[in-house]
């Protein structure tokens, strides 16, 4: 990875942090987008210790706000004309419904729209950097997701009902599952659109990993996840597929796939629906104002 430039989100914690540090130790230059200056600075210091020769850099943005995603993408594009790998990895699950001042439900905004908008803003730069790779962190939770295009902002989904609570363990997980289905569908359509450009797009499930994920969700869900984490993978184990997709020559030409344990895996039936993938793309582009 000597001399490779990797742009990552969600690298201040969990699997992203481990992946960033491992890839830096292989010689890569890591550019991060973080939201919190103290956590961002700590992450940068760790990387500089790991690989002092590379000019690692950090940029700040709240990725649940699309104007922030666009601003930071423009700053990065100006400073770094070449990017080998874009890793969309930041994500969270929110216990109660909240809407950003841009009118987007927060889970959908952070987990899907930030991936969509950051990629759209850097698309030409990545094509100009080809061969390049885009990696989206999805989840096995996508298996439970069903997209209702009439309720993309989850007004109904967050209300839930008794049976849904039994099925999903609560509306927060249902909304999270939908956002992760969006990651797989987005990757599918992105790979289709980028065919022949030398830029690949793949997504992954890292496994159930003991990270800070779920800590901010609140209530019983945070409690349940805290207990379940005793049986979860370590962040080092969870980061393996991310690192593999960013660095392995074996996947240089592989695109449009969903990976787990460094192997391609069939995603759910809903995640293989090409017309849903196209509809999600068109709707996201309208919401983001990135239609061409
Ligand atoms: N852990 C699991 O079992 C699991 C399973 C399947 C999929 N995943 C997925 O893996 C990805 C990484 O999660 P993780 O498990 O490593 O969790 P984590 O330790 O909570 O890390 C989440 C990362 O996202 C960043 N982030 C959250 N909200 C943000 C915002 N508004 N703007 C900018 N950055 C933001 C966090 O920044 P701060 O450091 O500032 O909080 C942190 O770097 C997520 O997409 C998650 O859905 C996790």
How confident is the model over 47-106, as pLDDT tens digits?
999 888 889 999 999 999 999 999 999 999 999 999 999 999 999 999 889 999 999 999
Contact assessment for residue 13 and residue 32, using Cβ atoms and an 8 Å cutoff = no
256 CA → ligand 1 middle, Å: 22
Helices (H), 129-161: none
Residue 13: phi and psi, rounded to 5, are -160, 165
CB of 40 shorter than 6 A to ligand 1 = no
Domain positions in the chain = 5-287
Q: Kindly report, residue by residue over 218-277, the tens digit of the pLDDT.
A: 777 777 888 888 888 999 999 999 999 999 999 999 999 999 999 999 999 999 999 999
Distances (CA, A) of 193 to 118, 199, 237: 16, 10, 32
The number of beta carbons lying within 10 Å of the beta carbon of residue 17 is 24
Q: Is 115 a catalytic residue?
A: no
DSSP annotation of 33 reads E
Contact assessment for residue 142 and residue 180, using Cβ atoms and an 8 Å cutoff = yes
pLDDT, residue 168, reads 67
Q: H-helix or E-strand containing 200?
A: strand 199-205
45 CA → ligand 1 middle, Å: 20
Contact assessment for residue 280 and residue 185, using Cβ atoms and an 8 Å cutoff = yes
CB of 100 shorter than 6 A to ligand 1 = no
Ligand 1: which of 92, 94, 108, 143 to mutate, judged by most atoms within 8 Å of the beta carbon? 92
Separation CA 9–CA 11 (nearest Å)? 6
Q: Which fold has domain 5-287?
A: Rossmann fold (3.40.50)
CB of 206 shorter than 6 A to ligand 1 = yes
């Amino acid at each position: 990875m000597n001399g490779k430039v990797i742009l990552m989100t969600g690298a201040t914690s969990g699997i992203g942090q481990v992946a960033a540090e491992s890839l830096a130790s292989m010689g890569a230059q890591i550019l991060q987008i973080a939201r919190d200056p103290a956590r961002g600075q700590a992450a940068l210091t760790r990387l500089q210790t790991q690989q002092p020769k590379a000019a690692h850099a950090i940029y700040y943005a709240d990725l649940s706000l699309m104007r922030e995603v666009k601003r930071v993408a423009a700053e990065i594009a100006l400073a770094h004309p070449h990017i080998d790998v874009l890793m969309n990895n930041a994500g969270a699950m929110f216990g109660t419904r909240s809407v950003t001042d841009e009118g987007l439900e927060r889970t959908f905004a952070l987990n899907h729209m930030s991936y969509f908008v950051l990629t759209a803003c850097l698309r030409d730069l990545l094509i100009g950097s080809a061969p390049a790779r885009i990696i989206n962190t999805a989840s096995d939770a996508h298996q439970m997701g069903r997209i209702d295009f009439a309720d993309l902002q989850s007004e109904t989904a967050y209300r839930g009902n008794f049976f849904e609570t039994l099925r999903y363990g609560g509306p927060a997980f249902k909304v999270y599952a939908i956002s992760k289905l969006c990651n797989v569908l987005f990757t599918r359509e992105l790979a289709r659109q980028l065919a022949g450009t030398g830029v690949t797009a793949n997504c992954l499930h890292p496994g159930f990993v003991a990270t800070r994920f779920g800590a901010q969700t609140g209530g019983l869900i945070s409690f349940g996840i805290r207990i379940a984490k005793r049986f979860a993978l370590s962040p080092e184990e969870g980061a393996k597929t991310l690192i593999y997709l960013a660095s392995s020559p074996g996947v240089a030409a592989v695109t449009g796939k969903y990976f787990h344990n460094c192997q391609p895996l069939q995603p759910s039936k809903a995640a293989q629906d090409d017309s849903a993938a196209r509809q999600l793309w068109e709707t996201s582009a309208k919401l983001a104002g990135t239609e061409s």
